[in-house]
Amino acid sequence: MSADELCYAGIRELGGLFRRGALSPVDYATDLLGRVERLDKSLNAYVTVTAERALADARAAEAAIRRGDGGPLAGIPIAYKDLYATKGIRTTAGSALLADWVPDFDCTCVTRLQQAGMVMLGKLITHEFAFGIQFPGHRFPPARNPWNVDHIPGGSSSGSGAALAAGLVHGALGSDTGGSIRGPAAFCNLVGLKPTYGRVSRAGVLTLSWSLDHTGPMARTVEDCALLLQALAGHDPADPASSREPVADYAEPLGRGIRGLRVGVPRAYFLEGADAEVEKAFEQALAALRLLGAVVTDVEIPSILASWAFLAILMAEAFAYHERDVRAHPELYGDVLRERVLAGGLILGSEYVQAQRLRARLQAEMLEVLRRVDVLVTPTTPKPAPTFAVVWDPSFGFPKSNMPPFNMTGLPALAVPCGFSSQGLPLSLQIAGRPFDEATVLRVGHAYEQATEWHRRRPRI
């Protein structure tokens, strides 16, 4: 396997090479760091490269493998969205306010993947405090989409998407408040999982919105996401929202197929405003699921338009979190973010309560639908990745998105590649399921992925 092929190898394949002694984790980490140095100059995926830490982790993993106690993630390179606190390594949140902050602790997710033997390559750029778009004049340059550097890689886990698509890491962690894992996965031809609210700890991850934030894995295949989730999932007393729900085996069910599984298609809202190419790719994906034996039926979610209440909740909670800092140091916030954070202070308490009431109704209706079907499928995004020129236009606001409904309801949702536009930009399928049933969501995603070739395509960089 050539070096260019190896950097796109799956976690199981790469781990097998390590355990057979066919490849040294230390040598591979060294080679991958060289690739980052060569290619990231044009992509800006990494805000901090931790070369010394990577080699130390790789040596520890290699020793564990030789002792026979290295698990499936031992020696696998990982990188973290720069919201994840890392002990002794700066954690900027993409913000001038925290540009030089060096935590004295690791967040829970970093600790768990360190214990699993993963090799930390560095920290990946995020939109400022994971909110909105990374505008010009920002403290850090924006990550660029390896499929076309004139187009955004999605946000706010922009560096995670760019690094994975370019073969600069084998797994990444993102955060998802309204689509910030699934959006970059969709725009970069990747797999991204927003787990059930409370499934993966948020302790030590900088907050955007307490009731909407999720943490989770991003990778190039569904199996890779399942393996990462296995190490991440489980109760954490340091996160007040963390669930005690038992952790399933996420990898074992992947090969069972989906014959007889019931797939619900909520067309209202999710297909409104979709590009013709997105709609065509979505219908072809439904046809593929039918060929795999799934029973595909249309379903209705009456309160789906209540998803717009998402913005009231997000902005009010973001203002509550940032109020002290944005008043004390307004100059350290980007112009657009500062305006949006302060706008959150204009939301009345009554409006916030009504938004939460609409949220509860939407959640109840989705759970009712999910008693009749096993998963819901939609396009992940209604359009392919836009250009920087479009999103940097001052008139660009909050575009319609297919992802916030699953933040509002806390349900697990997965983005999987499902095609390309005529301009060569990735398209994506979103699969959502019942609370804490990530195993079924991943199973459907894996069956579709393995029946198609979209995830095997690579950008020319």
DSSP sequence for 339-365: HHHHHHTTS-HHHHHHHHHHHHHHHHH
SS3 assignment, position 15:
helix
Phi (first) and psi of residue 198, to 5 degrees: 95, -5
Q: What CA dihedral angle connects 39, 44, 46 and 48, to 10 degrees?
A: 110
Nearest to 381 by CA among 366, 409, 400: 400
Distance between CA 321 and CA 303 in Å, rounded?
A: 29
Three-class DSSP labels, 60-98 = HHHHHHHHCCCCCCCCCEEEEECCECECCECCCCCCCCC
Q: Which two tokens stand for residue 442?
A: 């991943």
Rounded Cα gap, residues 144 and 161, in angstroms = 9
CA angle 426, 215, 207 (to 5 degrees): 115
Contact criterion met (CB below 8 Å) for 417 and 454: yes
The per-residue DSSP string of 220-264 comes to SSHHHHHHHHHHHBS--TTSTT---PPPP-SSGGGGG--TT-EEE
Give φ, ψ of 79 to 5 degrees: -140, 155
Listed in sequence order, the DSSP H helices in 130-256 are 158-165, 182-188, 222-232
Residue type, 289: L
Which amino acid, 127? H
* Planar angle of CA 227, 228, 230, nearest 5 degrees: 65
Q: Where in the sequence numbering do the catalytic residues fall? A: 81, 156, 180
